[in-house]
Structure 1
């Protein structure tokens, strides 16, 4: 199936966002959600503190993820890298990326903070203004086929221009390989958008439902506040 171009969508994080009206949904594990969804816990495999082998999303987001998986062509499935992310993990990722920038020669703290804000949300314990993954409404993922993961043009967590969702839409003279990547990103984008998610334009792998960013893009009320720690009361 040929999917249309990925549209240009700008999410102004400085714009007014309605306050979170917490819906109280539990989180559900994704490894048993659907036969067309597998979990590859990327940060667990990289050894980040506080990570685990399972991935979780709020019930509403998980249901929509299952719907997106069912809309894939036969033989394809979604591969989840990350879902709900604790404060500990978010802080570890933020500091890890900050150290990467320092090792590359970045010295201006304001410039470092601006660059960090493009790719890693600042960790916070404020459940009314949570980072997307802290809410349980954000998911990082790709698509796999019989031959493995589809080529999306970059690895997960590649923080360069190539990772921008529309990068391969904007090439003046795309190669055959570029067109393949473009098609793969369109597929992921459209199955996720059709299921009710929104995309973060700097990361082809990042989608949200029920979050503050989702609310801004859809003119809705955010329904997921932060979940600071995993416990039995919040897992369905």
Structure 2
């Protein structure tokens, strides 16, 4: 949780080679709880899909949680086309708040919270969610209520960037402990956390490869 942060779009991340495993996308239906389609109804067909080993690992995470607690998926796979829509929408929010930013500045600021589908020069990228290796995840109690994490994932674009950070200190001790509980459980099963977003974890993608010092990623983007 206190390790130095590296952005998803940083050169040392996006330049890591990908050796695609061709592992299938599978649905979490009947295995892991989930909420309604996030962001847009356009995600309905995809958001419950994950790479097979990611689902296996999530089931192990859930089995290790304290009694009465379960995981709830907010979002899994995103098509590159929808990921690009999210990027453009968030860039519009960024420019609305800071209209004097130039193209490069607005791109980089947008990329802090929404992974781009291409470099600023147009080179295709493999955003974590578009690989099927990334999950936005929460913990719920026995009544299906999300634990107190200091904010809800669905409000990521309405709150400050600082509040989204995994190690945010401006939240209650209970919320801090719940973020730590989630992170500890996920990291134990081999996931890595994107520390600008306490809810985002991935396995097998370039960010995972960078964070674990693996020689290559095993999941690339799926069209």
* Superposition deviation, residue 114 in structure 1: 1.6
Corresponding residue of 2:206? 212
1:96-151 CA-partner distances (Å, limit 9, x unpaired): 11122233243313321121110001124999841111111000011001351011
Q: Secondary structure of the equivalent of 1:15?
A: helix
Corresponding residue of 1:59? 52
Q: Secondary structure of the equivalent of 2:107?
A: helix
Corresponding residue of 2:132? 136
Do residues 89 (structure 1) and 82 (structure 2) align?
Answer: yes
TM-score, normalising length from structure 1?
A: 0.81
Which one is further off, 80-89 or 118-127? 118-127
Do residues 106 (structure 1) and 138 (structure 2) align?
Answer: no
| Matches of 1:193 and 1:64, distance apart in 2 | 10
Query: Is the alpha carbon distance of 1:127 and 1:72 closer, same or farther for their aligned partners in structure 2, counting shifts above 3 Å?
Result: farther
Cα root mean square deviation, aligned: 2.3
| Matched-pair contact (CA < 8 Å) for 1:127–1:227 | no
Do residues 21 (structure 1) and 19 (structure 2) align?
Answer: yes
**What is the aligned residue count?**
211
Corresponding residue of 1:234? none
Task: Identify unmatched segments of 5+ residues in structure 2.
Answer: none
Residue 63 of structure 2, aligned match among 70, 75, 90: 70
Do residues 116 (structure 1) and 114 (structure 2) align?
Answer: no
Q: Secondary structure of the equivalent of 1:193?
A: helix
Query: Is the alpha carbon distance of 1:87 and 1:199 closer, same or farther for their aligned partners in structure 2, counting shifts above 3 Å?
Result: same
